[in-house]
Amino acid sequence: MLAGKRILLIIGGGIAAYKSLELIRRLQDAGASVVPVLTRAGTEFVTPLSVSAFAGVKVHQDLFDLTSEAEMGHIQLSRSADLVVVAPATADLMAKMARGHANDLASTLLLATDTPVLLAPAMNVRMWEHKATQRNLSLLKQDGVKVVGPNEGNMACGEFGPGRMAEPQEILTAIANHFKQGPLQGRRVLVTSGPTHEPIDPVRYIANRSSGAQGSSIAAALRDLGAEVIFVTGPAEVPPPQGVTVVAVQSALEMEAAVKSALPVDAGVFAAAVADWRVASASDQKLKKSKDGLPELVFKENPDILKTISHLEEGRPPLMVGFAAETNDVLENATAKRLRKGCDWIVANDVSPATGIMGGSENAVTLITEGGAESWPRMDKVEVAQKLAERIATELGAL
């Protein structure tokens, strides 16, 4: 079932750590190889000797273990796996992950890894239900981290409720599901995201407002359906998802070049808020205040990337999806935009300040295709992304 898969198993400090020994056995029985990492708190519950005896290999414990650093640096360790599993994932480990701390081996590996991560949380009910933990959980999910459990039941601390770590068999099933081939397996999809920054001089730029949240969620949703995702992103606030090929750009010209070199693809989703103009001759030195008055900026039009790629005679992706961020006459403008840009679909949304969509976590979109307009109810940007990814998979004949 998991033949040839390499699992980096991080065992956190919780009473459920003993179950991780059984998980190691089950993973090995399923054909996976396991590299174990034990946190300092984890050693209070299981010994390094028992973990390495079960795994049949050395257990990694210290960030500054020089022998290990020589054999295999922590960066390499974090990337040599097909999946990182954290079981038990304590409230503390989740908080560190959500905030990007790296002050021990486990948190450093989790920050340095570019492989997908699966958490099996385990903690006291109140800790699990605490707003801080739920906030961290939601941040981690936005980052594409997968979660199995926790289950409800009697806990070692005598309380009852959610917080028990999922059973080894459930964790094994979640791991197996992760490796199941999605419907978009073998398909290559391009996603553009974020704003572009158009330099005025080395310290100033003009840009569009965009957090990159919607683009990131779309890339993650397509990845989850098994697609190979090329994620061309401007300087966004939201980090790119794990498990996609990230091409970071600054300006519209750089984005256009990156998009062209990502071709051929089966579908292109253009969620970036590209600046329509750039400063014609950006200064390579900082503009100084002068007595002669204000600087005059002369603008030049940027290439319309969506339009250019939609009109390619050779190499046009079979499905081109654009976005239309409008503040008024949304349907009318977006319908006209679909025809003008030559793309197949337009995902239209109302970004007028009253909607709170720009920079918020929700979106209310209308999908405009050749067949007409279909309004989706207002929902989380992650759900919009999943629905759109499924529509793309259906359109490509993969679902």
Which residues of the chain form contacts with ligand CTP (CB under 6 A)? 192, 252, 270, 272, 274, 276, 302, 304-306, 322-325
Within a 10 A sphere around the Cβ of 261, how many other Cβ atoms?
Answer: 10
Write down the catalytic residue from 157, 280, 312, 339. 157
> In angstroms, rounded to a whole number, what is the distance separating the alpha carbons of residues 305 and 131?
42
Which CB sits closer to ligand CTP, 12 or 194? 194
Clarify whether 157 is annotated catalytic: yes
Which CB sits closer to ligand CTP, 189 or 324? 324
Quick one: which of 393, 386, 392 has its CA closest to 216?
386
> In angstroms, rounded to a whole number, what is the distance separating the alpha carbons of residues 269 and 95?
33
Helix axes 17-29, 168-179, angle to 10 degrees: 50
The CB-of-304 to ligand CTP minimum distance in angstroms stands at 4
The CB-of-320 to ligand CTP minimum distance in angstroms stands at 9
**Amino acid, single-letter form, for residue 378:** R
> In angstroms, rounded to a whole number, what is the distance separating the alpha carbons of residues 10 and 110?
9
* 246-to-100, 143, 241, 256, 380 alpha-carbon distances in Å: 19, 14, 9, 15, 24
The CB-of-227 to ligand CTP minimum distance in angstroms stands at 19
The CB-of-238 to ligand CTP minimum distance in angstroms stands at 16
Which CB sits closer to ligand CTP, 110 or 273? 273
Which CB sits closer to ligand CTP, 34 or 191? 191
CB 378 within 8 A of CB 363: yes
| Residues forming the active site | 157
